[in-house]
Amino acid sequence: MRANHLQVRASEWEHLSFTWLKLEAELLRERAIFGPGPGLLLSQDWVQDAAEGRHRTRSRIRRKTLRQSKRVLGMLGIRPDMSEVGKNRSESDAEPKLLCEVAAEVKDEEEDGGLTFFPALKDTPVITEDLPDPLAPVACSLTQDCPDIRVILQELLPGEEVSSKMCVVMVSGLRITEGLLLFGKESLLLCEGFTLSPAGDVCCRKHHPSSVRDSFISTMLNKDLPAASCRCWLYEDIKEARFMRFLLEDAAIEIFMKNGHSAFLVFLNKDHVSAYKRLSRVVPALKGRGVAEVIANAKKTPVVEKTALVKWQKGEISNFEYLMHLNTIAGRTYNDLMQYPVFPWIIADYKSETLDLSNPATFRDLSKPMGAQTEKRKQMFIQRYEEVEGKESEDLTAQCHYCTHYSSAIIVASFLVRMEPFSHTFQALQGGFDIPERMFYSIKKEWESASRDNMGDVRELIPEFFYLPDFLINSNQIQLGCMEDGTALGDVELPPWAKGDPQEFIRIHREALESDYVSANLHLWIDLIFGYRQRGQAAIESVNMFHPYFYPQKRGQDTKDPVIKSTILGYVSNFGQVPKQLFVKPHPPRSGSKKEGSSTHQPTPFYFKLDKLKTPAQPFRELPRGPVGQILCLEKEVLVLEKNRLLLSPLLCCFFSWGFPDNSCAFGNHATEKTFAVCESLCDWGQILCAACPNVTTVITAGTSTVVCVWDVAVTKDKLTHMKLRQPLYGHTDAVVCLAVSEVHSIIVSGSRDLTCILWDLEELSYITQLAGHTTSVSALAINDLTGEIVSCAGPQLYLWTMKGQLLTCTDTSCGPQSNILCVSFTQRHEWDSRNVIITGCEDGIIRIWRAEYTRTQLPGPPEEPVSPGQDQTERDVSNSSQAKGWKRHLVLHQELNRSQTVSQRRYKNNPAITALAMSRTHATLLAGDAWGQVFTWTCE
């Protein structure tokens, strides 16, 4: 009893200690009470977040966590793990510095005698006589006395009982650690740094030997024991689970969460089948799937859903979506760098100023592997194959075209080397950075190496080339070395058609992937990577035969010989492995053209023909009172809500409203217009000026208190169960007047009268960065769910930003005394379409439509020529091109929509201000709501 009591007290104290450290970091960050103020940035590095978003993309980039204060760690009686200290030193992870000079009180504390804002905690529970020192090498004879076990106890839900325990190896990039998978009644626990004793008791790895018996996997485990950690995942939050391979063996499962996180688990005793069966019994999303998946896994035939194939053939899903789907069912994963998703090289032209996507010569030959892109190299690989003809052994000299692979850990790390955590992954694999000339520094050079010049390089691409511009930029200022001519390696050198802009490179590259030529030929590449030409006689005829070690095969006695097995697995871990074969017959081609407008049932998007837009004389909808606050285009209807009212759930038809004299809020039924609940929880937070509802269980409010409040709500049919404050977000110094939120990118953006916007992480509810430099109060915000770009409006000024807070461009939209922008929106049909626009609704009652264009910045000479992205240019004089220094992006006004002029051919002095914008689901119609409560539609003639 006493031991249990002390165990609970120690667990509570550790929880309190780390909560205290979290509080310290929160108070010292940017825009915090003791941190740098508006416009001042700390030099924190950026790191890619592991969560997957739309179509399994990893587009979230977050700031690196501030290092915890050593002084506060000491006062709390917590010694940092020495392996972590060593890691920090190796990563040169110094205390963050301000990017600009500020007052002394916000500078980083010195190592000796530095200032801290925290008093020492003196009331530490006196329990050391009964519990072992966490850092002392005491044997773990009784598991309940081990301090690391408390990590699991802290994560256990009240009343939770563990019904099953399994030893696993957790794989995340190069981090390979031993752990446990615990099945509870309502949740799954993933415990890192633990194992099971022979008696089945949970033990920490510090006090108990490893349970991993596989000698090769043992060598892959991280040399430094990981700090004990535990993640608790509710069964209802699990979205998917799939059988996976690890080192060519079917012994793993990858579990996907609804929030985008995942876990790759290798089961030590071939327990993956029983683990999947258990998951299919307790996880609602997997119920009924256990038998079919287990049978398919036993037959080693991945289940290829015909639905996705048919959708792709009909053009209902994009080429990118389909390729990512095939990668997923073929066992490719972000978690295992040996099995990273593989995408094709698409473009062969990296010299032209513009790309002609109607010219087949622009593209790579998708019917041939990278080793056969030129006839000369193809013949060299055929000669290599024939030189060892008749040799049946499977050693390093086995008969094959290629001894290296198109996807491996080092290929992935070299492509992503400018971005954390892959810069450290690359150094771990290579023992440091490579010779600069051999690093990835130019798209053109990489293509020439993989398609023509280097017999050891047949690499394909990774998904990031089609959605993530951040990997092309050395935003963390990593020292990659200098070329022989003294040029420092920085950002990746882009082809001329990208106009020096990583965002434009990604857009054009994705446009090329979705082009008619690629759509008509992509099935040929699928045959090479996932299909019938992956192996066998068809692979030999296609010059597509890789070393036998890259294929999972039954090797008989070879796998029993530890030397041979170690050689094979070493080869695989260094050079990669082929995906699972999905098709044994030729993959069917895509049917017909997929261009917009080519299908008769698809109406023309309104922004394709801006000069043809017309509006009827009568409003589409008219509210009985107040300005329009929100327009929602659902599948079968359009909902219009007045100002200070948001739809919480289309399914429940429930709205959330605010702006009452007593600062309360209300919930009501939109169909009946009846309020069914009034909540006074908001009264303590001043007057609410804006709100956002990212999902049915979350409401975000902000106003005069300067605090952004995130609330948990539970609404059943016409009944509010609870409304509880989840987290207040502090940072603004004046009233917050507008909010935007994106679940896809997990960000909240708040705009304030303090002339700044702040980006917050929607999941972690933490600060990301700030958007500073507005000339007046921020009045409107929007987030592009497809690209992650953010637009902010301040008076007549229009700003375009990346999710990392980089200003892409800004423009003054002033067209009169009342041109302040009140609402703004993106078109979001296809992210690669250069015709996409930004729409602003202004105080003068005019809708203005903007499009990004590029202007060449040049030495004195001929005037600048605007060029729309993706459009053909006229041929320029060579002397003009030689004078060019680069390109600059601008927002150019393409159309003004003024209903009063359209209807009566004259401008009214009292045009109602535009207060809300929306687009139909097909983007055929633009809807605009005004201050008089009217909604008008604009469509092409």
3-class secondary structure, 266: strand
The helix or strand, by DSSP H or E, that contains position 714, with its residue range, turns out to be strand 708-716
Residue 135 burial (CB < 10 Å; 0-12/13-18/19+)? Answer: exposed
Q: Where are the beta strands (DSSP E) in 595-707?
A: 613-614, 621-622, 628-633, 638-642, 645-649, 654-657, 665-669, 674-679, 688-695, 698-703
Structure tokens at 833: 């379409």
The helix or strand, by DSSP H or E, that contains position 792, with its residue range, turns out to be strand 790-794
Query: 210 with 259: CB under 8 angstroms?
Result: no
Q: State the pairing for strand pair 884-897/914-919.
A: unpaired
Residue 884's pLDDT is 37
Per mean pLDDT, which range of 114-118, 225-229, 456-460, 787-791 is the poorest?
114-118
Q: Which residue has the tokens 């044994």?
A: 584
pLDDT band per the 50, 70, 90 thresholds, residue 903: low
| Pairwise CA distance, residues 665 & 682, whole Å | 7
| Pairwise CA distance, residues 425 & 427, whole Å | 5
List residues bridging with 929 in a β-sheet: 916, 935
Q: Where are the beta strands (DSSP E) in 719-774?
A: 719-729, 736-742, 747-752, 757-761, 766-771
User: How many of the other CB atoms lie within 10 Å of CB of 673?
Assistant: 9
Q: Is the pLDDT of residue 469 over 70?
A: yes
3-class secondary structure, 223: coil
Residue 864's pLDDT is 46
* Cis peptide leading into residue 421 (ω within 30°): yes
Residue 11's pLDDT is 66
Per mean pLDDT, which range of 276-285, 584-593, 773-782, 890-899 is the poorest?
584-593
User: How many of the other CB atoms lie within 10 Å of CB of 871?
Assistant: 10
Helical H segments across 338-474, by residue range: 375-387, 409-415, 422-430, 443-448
Query: 891 with 809: CB under 8 angstroms?
Result: yes
| Pairwise CA distance, residues 564 & 289, whole Å | 38
Q: What percent of the chain has pLDDT over 70?
A: 82
pLDDT band per the 50, 70, 90 thresholds, residue 907: very low
Q: Is the pLDDT of residue 322 over 60?
A: yes
Residue 208's pLDDT is 82
Q: Is the pLDDT of residue 810 over 90?
A: yes
Residue 323's pLDDT is 97
Residue 592's pLDDT is 63
Q: Rounded mean pLDDT of 609-614?
A: 89
- In order, the DSSP letters of 642-674 are ETTEEEEETTTTEEEE---TTS-EEEEETTTTE
pLDDT band per the 50, 70, 90 thresholds, residue 81: very low
Q: Which residues of 285-303 are buried (b: 16+ CB within 10 A; e: fewer)?
A: bbeebbeebbeebeeeebe
Q: Rounded mean pLDDT of 817-844?
A: 90
Residue 174 burial (CB < 10 Å; 0-12/13-18/19+)? Answer: middle
Domains annotated for the chain, with CATH where assigned, are 2-106 (no CATH), 146-301 (2.30.29.30), 338-575 (1.10.1540.10)
Q: What share of the chain is helix, strand, coil (3-state, %, to 5)?
A: 25, 25, 45
List residues bridging with 257 in a β-sheet: 238
Per mean pLDDT, which range of 132-141, 298-307, 908-917 is the poorest?
132-141
Structure tokens at 480: 């990659």
Q: Which residue has the tokens 């200098």?
A: 482
pLDDT band per the 50, 70, 90 thresholds, residue 299: low
| Pairwise CA distance, residues 492 & 488, whole Å | 11
| Pairwise CA distance, residues 328 & 308, whole Å | 12
**Of the candidates 251, 260, 255, 258, which has an alpha carbon nearest to the alpha carbon of residue 242?**
255
Q: Is the pLDDT of residue 763 over 70?
A: yes
Q: Calculate helix-pair angle for 319-329, 306-314, nearest 10 degrees.
A: 160
Query: 215 with 566: CB under 8 angstroms?
Result: yes
Ramachandran category for residue 500: left, alpha or beta (phi over 0 → left; psi -120 to 50 → alpha): left
Residue 767's pLDDT is 94
**Of the candidates 793, 765, 783, which has an alpha carbon nearest to the alpha carbon of residue 891?**
793
Per mean pLDDT, which range of 279-283, 286-290, 361-365 is the poorest?
286-290
- In order, the DSSP letters of 464-494 are GGGT-GGGGS-TT-----B-TTSPBP-SPBP
Sign of the alpha-carbon torsion through 366, 370, 374, 377: negative
Structure tokens at 880: 């003009």
Q: Which residues of 67-84 are buried (b: 16+ CB within 10 A; e: fewer)?
A: ebbbbbeebbebeebeee
Q: Calculate helix-pair angle for 272-282, 290-299, nearest 10 degrees.
A: 160
| Pairwise CA distance, residues 693 & 762, whole Å | 12
Q: Is the pLDDT of residue 464 over 80?
A: yes
Which stretch, 194-208, 332-346, 676-690, has highest mean pLDDT?
Answer: 332-346
Phi and psi for 64 in degrees, rounded to 5?
-65, 140
Phi and psi for 899 in degrees, rounded to 5?
-65, -35
State pLDDT tens for residues 198-221: 888 888 888 888 888 888 888 888
**Of the candidates 837, 836, 838, 842, which has an alpha carbon nearest to the alpha carbon of residue 823?**
842
Q: Which residue has the higher pLDDT, 771 or 435?
A: 771
Q: Is the pLDDT of residue 226 over 70?
A: yes
Q: Is the pLDDT of residue 8 over 70?
A: no
Q: Rounded mean pLDDT of 421-450?
A: 92
Averaged pLDDT of the chain: 83
Structure tokens at 791: 């637009």
Q: Is the pLDDT of residue 881 over 60?
A: no
pLDDT band per the 50, 70, 90 thresholds, residue 873: very low
Per mean pLDDT, which range of 488-502, 614-628, 870-884 is the poorest?
870-884
Q: Rounded mean pLDDT of 468-496?
A: 91
Q: Is the pLDDT of residue 905 over 60?
A: no
Q: Is the pLDDT of residue 396 over 70?
A: no
Structure tokens at 34: 């003791």
State pLDDT tens for residues 116-166: 333 333 333 333 334 444 444 343 434 445 677 777 777 777 777 888 999
Ramachandran category for residue 156: left, alpha or beta (phi over 0 → left; psi -120 to 50 → alpha): beta
| Pairwise CA distance, residues 139 & 721, whole Å | 49
Q: What percent of the chain has pLDDT over 90?
A: 53
**Of the candidates 416, 425, 414, which has an alpha carbon nearest to the alpha carbon of residue 475?**
416
Query: 763 with 51: CB under 8 angstroms?
Result: yes
Structure tokens at 585: 């017959």
Q: State the pairing for strand pair 821-826/847-858.
A: unpaired
Residue 206's pLDDT is 80
User: How many of the other CB atoms lie within 10 Å of CB of 203?
Assistant: 21
Q: How many residues does the chain have?
A: 941
Residue 66's pLDDT is 66
| Pairwise CA distance, residues 424 & 478, whole Å | 11
pLDDT band per the 50, 70, 90 thresholds, residue 88: very low
Query: 796 with 774: CB under 8 angstroms?
Result: no
Distant-in-sequence, close-in-space partners of 18: CB < 8 Å, separation ≥ 6:
78
Q: pTM of the predicted model, to two decimals?
A: 0.87
| Pairwise CA distance, residues 57 & 785, whole Å | 12
Q: DSSP letter at 452?
A: I
Distant-in-sequence, close-in-space partners of 25: CB < 8 Å, separation ≥ 6:
65, 66, 68
- In order, the DSSP letters of 302-352 are ----HHHHHHHHHTSS-HHHHHHHHHHHTT--SS-GGG---B---B---S-
**Single-letter residue type at 749:** V
Residue 336 burial (CB < 10 Å; 0-12/13-18/19+)? Answer: buried
